[in-house]
């Protein structure tokens, strides 16, 4: 099943900030693209479950919280952070 991946505006803004501040902007861009592909083609089995229908996954140097809406074939990226950052839940 193929999913449409939607980044919440706050997650998209945080990704832009991470990219701007990154020492290796290419690594951030590659990781974001890889996350999109993983979620688009295998969202149901990607990552680890968290509270409710929230999941976490990562591709260095990024990690994300995301929600899968199976009935609508949608994936929502809720939060993104650099894996070197301290992070509290979704």
| Distance in angstroms (rounded) separating the CA atoms of residues 59 and 69 | 22
| 67 is a domain residue | yes
Query: Does the structure show a pLDDT above 70 at 89?
Result: no
| 89 is a domain residue | no
Nearest-5° angle of CA 63, CA 22, CA 3?
Answer: 35
- Residues paired with residue 54 on neighbouring β-strands, in sequence order: 67
Q: How many CB atoms lie under 10 A from the CB of residue 40?
A: 16
Residue 59: give the domain boundaries: 4-82
| Distance in angstroms (rounded) separating the CA atoms of residues 39 and 5 | 7
- Provide the pLDDT confidence category of residue 87 given band limits of 50, 70 and 90: low
| 90 is a domain residue | no
Domain count, the chain: 1
| 44 is a domain residue | yes
Question: What's the whole-number average pLDDT of the chain?
Answer: 92
Q: What is the pLDDT of residue 11?
A: 98
Which tens digit of pLDDT belongs to each residue from 62-86? Answer: 999 999 998 999 999 999 999 976 5
Q: What is the mean pLDDT of residues 38-64?
A: 92
Contact predicate 51/90, CB 8 Å = yes
Q: What is the CATH number of the domain that holds 41?
A: 3.30.2310.20
């Amino acid at each position: 099943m193929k999913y449409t991946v939607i980044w919440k505006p706050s997650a998209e803004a945080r990704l832009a900030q991470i990219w701007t501040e990154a020492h290796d902007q290419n690594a951030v861009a590659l990781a974001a693209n890889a996350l999109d592909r993983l979620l688009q083609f295998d969202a149901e089995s990607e990552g680890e479950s968290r509270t409710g229908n929230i999941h976490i996954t990562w591709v260095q140097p990024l990690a994300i919280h995301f929600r899968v809406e199976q009935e609508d074939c949608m994936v929502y990226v809720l939060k993104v952070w650099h894996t070197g950052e301290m992070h509290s839940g979704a």
